[in-house]
Amino acid sequence: MDSSAMPVWDLIVIGGGASGMSAAIAYQRACRDARKEPGTVLILEKNDRVGKKILATGNGRCNLSNKDMQFSHFHSHEKSFPSEVLDLVPQKESLIFLEELGILTTAEGNKMFPVSKTSSSVVDAFRFALDDYDISLIEQSSVTEIKKEENFIISTLDEQTYQAKQVIVACGGACAASLGTTGDGYRWLSQLGHRVYAPKPSIVQIVTENAVTKALSGLKLECDLSLIAEDVVVARQFGEVLFADYGLSGPAVFQVSGEVSRRMKKNQLSVPMKVTLQLFDEATLRSLRSEMIRRREAFADRTLDHLLLSILPAKIGNMILKTALHRPLSLHIASLSDADLDAVIRTLRIWSFDVIGTRSLEYAQTTIGGADCSEFDPKTLESKIVSGLYGCGEVLDVDGDCGGYNLQWAFSSGILAGRSAYARAFGGV
Ligand SMILES: Cc1cc2nc3c(=O)[nH]c(=O)nc-3n(C[C@H](O)[C@H](O)[C@H](O)COP(=O)(O)OP(=O)(O)OC[C@H]3O[C@@H](n4cnc5c(N)ncnc54)[C@H](O)[C@@H]3O)c2cc1C
């Protein structure tokens, strides 16, 4: 269609995820607060419904923020960029925003969830708000190109074309492609002159030398995990670790996985890395050594696998013994020297796994990298290269730690982008 004959939307938001829906609502809310007619706002969403990724968050419970809002939980090549945005739309403001949509929150430890502990209720609240705020929505509409002429011209896979005065790119990152996020935004932003840092997976499983993890696949334990790069501890996390065919998974592993990704170039580690697991604290290790000395006498004729009986799940205990002692478990406990017992304690303190890398973006919960934040104004999230163009959420080079930080970023940055688009159109908020 000739672009002069097309309707011109005030704002088109590309992507109906957490950041895109927040942006569209924030724009309309600013109109309402200023007692203006609502703008003409359209969300184009690739999936057959909005918020599919929100449904998957927090194992279906939607861990939407965290009480510990230290800025060190957010990462970007532009170190101060996330905190500048979060200063403008702090957690408190985003929680009020959610509350006004009907999403009340509660905390479990530091992690924050909707009171319903159900992701679908969050998506429902957003959907109703899109109606309330006169936001148009076209689903199954996959954007393929954005061009800037007098207005923005947006083309979709089903050969539709839309025209808008302003555009917010909120199409997410490049992880979990099955939920619609295939890094499309990087291509359009590059075409419009933006630099994009190559996407890497974070909050993802770690691939290790796997003979041991494969043998223990499906078992889990709580322990103190350290991630070590060139003999320096670069991350530590206490929590659950799950053994798997390819390596290690579980919350503690997810939390440190970004540090592995950041040290990978072309799918290879740039420095040698290992994960070590400390299975017991120092005081417990001391009493365990005394217990093993007692067992060496009391259970002298029993086989080695009785040394850690009921102290660890049998399969894990046996693997510790094999790793520490390098001898058949059919031997008698009486055959163990003090040095052998020390070797077992050492392995319980530092059970080491050589890291090969991480699993791919498809398995990750968030994307490291994305559109270079130095090319966006942190006060508005407007592009410094193309006026009237904004970025928010995961498409930007910002990633958060595991624990609600990525949704917090999506909400805060979405609200800021929507509010800024309003301010640019009408002046002031
Ligand atoms: C399994 C899983 C669990 C997670 N759990 C948590 C959690 O508990 N807490 C937390 O804080 N974070 C969690 N995250 C991360 C969090 O969901 C994301 O960081 C956040 O949703 C990003 O918001 P966004 O709006 O930028 O992108 P998204 O929510 O990914 O939304 C982007 C939208 O854009 C659409 N889109 C993409 N390309 C196009 C196109 N070409 N045209 C039109 N539309 C397009 C997509 O279909 C999608 O709906 C999890 C992620 C995953 C995968």
Ligand 1 site, residue 393, Cβ cutoff 6 A: yes
Q: Measured between alpha carbons, how far is 95 from 272 in angstroms, rounded to an integer?
A: 42
pLDDT of residue 237: 97
Range from 240-244, 250-254, 267-271 carrying the lowest mean pLDDT: 267-271
Better pLDDT: 267 or 48 = 48
pLDDT of residue 182: 95
DSSP string over 4-43: GGS-EEEEEEE--SHHHHHHHHHHHHHHHHTTPPPP-EEE
Burial of 69-85, coded b for 16+ CB within 10 Å and e otherwise, reads: beeebbbbebeebbbeb
Ligand 1 site, residue 258, Cβ cutoff 6 A: no
What are the tens digits of pLDDT across the range 19-57? 999 999 999 999 999 999 999 999 999 999 999 999 999
Ligand 1 site, residue 18, Cβ cutoff 6 A: yes
What are the tens digits of pLDDT across the range 310-332? 999 999 999 999 999 999 999 99
Ligand 1 site, residue 420, Cβ cutoff 6 A: no
Ligand 1 site, residue 14, Cβ cutoff 6 A: yes
Within 140-267, strands assigned E span 143-148, 152-156, 161-169, 196-202, 206-208, 220-229, 232-243, 247-249, 264-265
Residue 4 has pLDDT above 90, yes or no: no
Among 42, 45, 171, residue to substitute to test ligand 1 (most atoms within 8 Å of Cβ): 171
Percent with pLDDT over 70 in the chain: 99
CATH 3.40.50.720 fits 205-358, yes or no: no
Residue 18 has pLDDT above 60, yes or no: yes
What are the tens digits of pLDDT across the range 107-148? 999 999 999 999 999 999 999 999 999 999 999 999 999 999
Contacts of 385 (CB under 8 A, 6+ apart): 192, 193, 194, 375
Domain locations along the chain: 3-201+366-426, 205-358
pLDDT of residue 428: 63
Ligand 1 site, residue 43, Cβ cutoff 6 A: no
What are the tens digits of pLDDT across the range 188-209? 999 999 999 999 999 999 999 9
pLDDT of residue 5: 75
Ligand 1 site, residue 181, Cβ cutoff 6 A: yes
Among 57, 105, 189, residue to substitute to test ligand 1 (most atoms within 8 Å of Cβ): 57
Ligand 1 site, residue 89, Cβ cutoff 6 A: no
pLDDT of residue 6: 84
The 3-state DSSP class for residue 379 equals: coil
Ligand 1 centre to CA of 6 (Å) is 30
Please list the alpha-helical segments (H only) found in 114-159: 119-132
Nearest-atom index, ligand 1, CA of 17: 31
pLDDT of residue 364: 98
Residue of minimum CA distance from atom 53 in ligand 1: 365
pLDDT of residue 429: 55
Superfamily of domain 3-201+366-426: FAD/NAD(P)-binding domain (3.50.50.60)
pLDDT of residue 391: 98
Query: Torsion over CA of 125, 127, 131 and 134, rounded to 10 degrees?
Result: 110
What are the tens digits of pLDDT across the range 367-418? 999 999 999 999 999 999 999 999 999 999 999 999 999 999 999 999 999 9
